[in-house]
Structure 1
Amino acid sequence: MTPSTILFDLDGTLLDTAPDMGEAANRVLAEFDLPPLTAEQIYTHTSFGARGLLTAGFGEQAKHQDPIALRARFLYHYGQAICQGTQVYPGIDALLDKLTHLAMRWGIVTNKPEGLTHQLLDHFPRLQAAQVIVGADTYAHAKPHPLPLLEAAKTLDCAPECCFYVGDIENDTRAAHAANMKSIVAGWGYVGDPALIRNWEADHIFTTPTQLSAFLGS
């Protein structure tokens, strides 16, 4: 089935935000005199946001910390330098051109807070053209709950079964299936061990945005 509408995750799907997310986490770790995350740790945990990065950095000490306070410090640092190293993945601009050519509706559903999402997208005019933008706190639930995807589809006047969701972690696939949408794995993102992707039972797996673009045009 060819989708009439596509929803995208943001971190690890449209944007490589790992450099700035990792820097924010490292600034929090420095406040506790802890060593910084390695590049591998950053790229492994960025799609899990503040919780994933800080849990990796604090290790066993994480259980002795206030997660709400730590997240607040992370979001503060992230908001202060939100787009120093973040870049659009190669091939995304061409993919968006293809969506325009096909007159397909598209949007963004992310677990990044809505305010920070818009702050980041101010640096990427092409992504601001999304016809719906949903953050982690836009509705009562965030992914992997299906509510954000269902509300985004409703905004675009699209039946869920005619919508694809593109993301780079297993929870994105779970959210898509819970919303009765087809799932696409962004294999160019922070997918972790590629061998495990098959276990996610996604409907499609693409290793580059170019492959996804070709699929849409087929």
Structure 2
Amino acid sequence: MTPSTILFDLDGTLLDTAPDMGEAANRVLAEFDLPPLTREQIYTHTSFGARGLLSAGFGEQAQHQDPVALRARFLHHYGDAICHGTQLYAGIDTLLDKLDQLRIPWGIVTNKPEALTHQLLAFFPRLQEARVIVGADTYAHAKPHPMPLLEAAKSLNCVPQQGLYVGDIENDILAARAANMGAAVAGWGYTGDQALVHNWKADHIFARPDQLSAILGS
């Protein structure tokens, strides 16, 4: 069945934000004279935000640091250079065009803070056309809690069971399940070990955006 509404995660689903997220983390690490994250580490941990990237960089030293202060430093650096290397994934434009042609409303539900989300989307006018944009702090809970998805669906007059959420990590699938929505894996994003993705029990696993487009009909 074609979904009545599609909601997307942002980092690792619509946008490859790893270069700028990784750079922000490396600037924090440099302040502590720690070595920078490797490209592999950055792409493994970007979907887990500041917490994931800084935990990877600090290792065992993380337990001796104030996580709130570290996150504040990360967000400061990230906000200063939020779109130097970030790019729209290939095929997303075409996918969104098809959704518009089929009059399927779409939105964005991310765990990036709302202010930073809008700051970043200013560089991508196509994504600003989303019918709803929900950040980590828009509501009282962030993913994997279902509230952000349920509130986004409500704003689009979408019955959750008729909607589809697309994300690149297991927490996205857990959030969709908890919201009683369809769940799809953006396999082109930061999914990590592909062998484990099938354990998430998503309804769909798409290797490319055009594979999602193909299920929408014409």
Q: How high is the TM-score relative to the length of structure 1? A: 0.99
**Separation of aligned partners in 1, 2:67 and 2:95:** 37
* Alignment-mate amino acid for residue 151 of structure 2: E
1:194 aligns to 2:198 (yes or no): no
**Separation of aligned partners in 1, 2:174 and 2:38:** 28
Residue 177 of structure 1: aligned partner: 177
**Contact 2:2 2:217 (8 Å CA) reproduced:** no
**Separation of aligned partners in 1, 2:52 and 2:215:** 32
Correspondence list, 1:5-20, <5 A: 5-20=5-20
SS of 1:33 mapped into structure 2: coil
Deviation at 1:137, TM superposition (A): 0.2
RMSD: 0.6
Deviation at 1:217, TM superposition (A): 2.1
Deviation at 1:174, TM superposition (A): 0.2
* Alignment-mate amino acid for residue 38 of structure 1: T
Among the aligned pairs, what percent are the same residue?
Answer: 80
SS of 1:185 mapped into structure 2: strand
**Separation of aligned partners in 1, 2:129 and 2:2:** 22
SS of 1:217 mapped into structure 2: coil
Q: Which string of whole-angstrom CA distances, capped at 9 and with x for unpartnered residues, describes residues 4-62 of structure 1? A: 10000000000000000000000000000000000000000000000000000000000
Question: 5+ unaligned residues in a row in structure 1: which ranges?
Answer: none
**Separation of aligned partners in 2, 1:162 and 1:129:** 21
Q: Write out the 4+ residue segments of structure 1 that deviate beyond 3 Å after TM superposition.
A: none
Residue 113 of structure 1: aligned partner: 113
Correspondence list, 1:135-214, <5 A: 135-214=135-214
**Separation of aligned partners in 2, 1:194 and 1:98:** 28
Residue 128 of structure 1: aligned partner: 128
**Separation of aligned partners in 1, 2:78 and 2:197:** 29
SS of 2:13 mapped into structure 1: coil
Residue 29 of structure 1: aligned partner: 29
Aligned residues: 218
**Separation of aligned partners in 1, 2:149 and 2:92:** 21
Q: Which string of whole-angstrom CA distances, capped at 9 and with x for unpartnered residues, describes residues 93-147 of structure 1? A: 0000000110000000000000000000000000000000000000000000000
Residue 47 of structure 1: aligned partner: 47
**Separation of aligned partners in 1, 2:149 and 2:93:** 23
